[in-house]
Copies of this chain bind each other. A is one copy, B any other.
Amino acid sequence: MKIITTVKELREELKAYRHLGKSIGFVPTMGYLHEGHESLMIEAKKQTDIVVLSIFVNPLQFGPNEDFERYPRDLEKDQDIATKAGIDIIFAPSVKEMYPNEMKTTVQVIDITSKLCGASRPGHFEGVATVVSKLFLIVQPDKAFFGQKDAQQIAVIQQMVDDLNFPINIVACPIVREEDGLARSSRNVYLSTEERLQAVILNLSLQSAKEEIIKGNQNTETIKQLIIQKINEMPLAKIDYVEILTYPSLKEIETLQQGEKVIIALAVWFGKTRLIDNLLIEI
């Protein structure tokens, strides 16, 4: 496995593989890798010949009061995990390498970015779309792999890929969970023991909602209230949002109709830590 830190070197390396007719897979991450990332790497290795993992904590997608500075980083441990997963190249550029000059260009996706995390984190998806565009143009992969935990991110990136004709297949991989159901996230490390125990409510409330839907409840408002009630049973939980929307178009929906694909998405604060989780259901 090679660690590359410059755009120039990465391009040269990949050019050689491309000449040999190898397909390129790409797993963009912010590092501090966990089993969720691991599942993306394993899937990428299955579907493509050469897999590039990028590790870059992108300042553009963090708000001024968010956790860019304290976001957890551990390149050495990440290397071990990537090596075991069979990654061929880690691309770990500095902020200066990615943004050598004042950025005047952004990639903007409207409509689906105004809901859910886009509403709570203004500018976030502009930062995501812009850095993913850059990484796509640097790596030029055949396929790129994203975790379904960031379901809105996948919707935004798929929209961008379709609208701008990126010649890249986006592969969405299922959420990987802890034993007790908490979705794996680099931010879980922020949680105190008490918060960590109560955080299980995210998945539990999603499961209850799913059961309710299976039982025949079609009213999204009552299902949402059920989730909110459940989360509020945990004294340390503070709800950011609970939404049921069509997926991937992210439109409001009052009554669940057969054939509809919907997302139940939620974001919940535990102290200074904001966790997200979601469930996709075909009605």
Contacts and interface: CB of A to CB of B under 8 A. Distances in A.
Contacts of A34: none
A101 B7 contact: no
Interface string A137-181: 110100000000000000000011011111100000000000000
A110 interface: yes
A164 B101 contact: no
Contact of A105 (B101, B129, B140): B129
B108 A105 contact: yes
Kindly name the residue among A11, A108, A129, A160 whose own CB sees the greatest number of chain B CB atoms within 10 A.
A108
Nearest to A130: B164
A138 B165 CA distance: 6
Contacts of A108: 105-108
Interface in A91-117: 101, 103-112
Contacts of A104: 109-112, 159, 163
Contacts of A163: 101, 103-105, 134
A61 interface: no
A187 B106 CA distance: 31
The 5 nearest A-B residue pairs measured at CB: A105-B163, A137-B165, A105-B160, A134-B165, A105-B109
Given A101-B162, A105-B129, A137-B164, 10 more contacts: A104-B163, A105-B109, A105-B160, A105-B164, A107-B107, A108-B108, A130-B164, A133-B164, A134-B165, A140-B167
11 contacts: A11-B167, A101-B162, A105-B160, A106-B107, A106-B108, A106-B110, A107-B107, A134-B163, A137-B166, A138-B165, A140-B167
A64 to B, nearest CB: 19
A137 B101 contact: no
A10 to B, nearest CB: 10
Contacts of A164: 105, 107, 130, 133-134, 137
Interface string A29-49: 000000000000000000000
A111 B138 CA distance: 25
Kindly name the residue among A130, A134, A164, A167 whose own CB sees the greatest number of chain B CB atoms within 10 A.
A164
B111 A165 contact: no
A106 B109 CA distance: 7
A165 B136 CA distance: 9
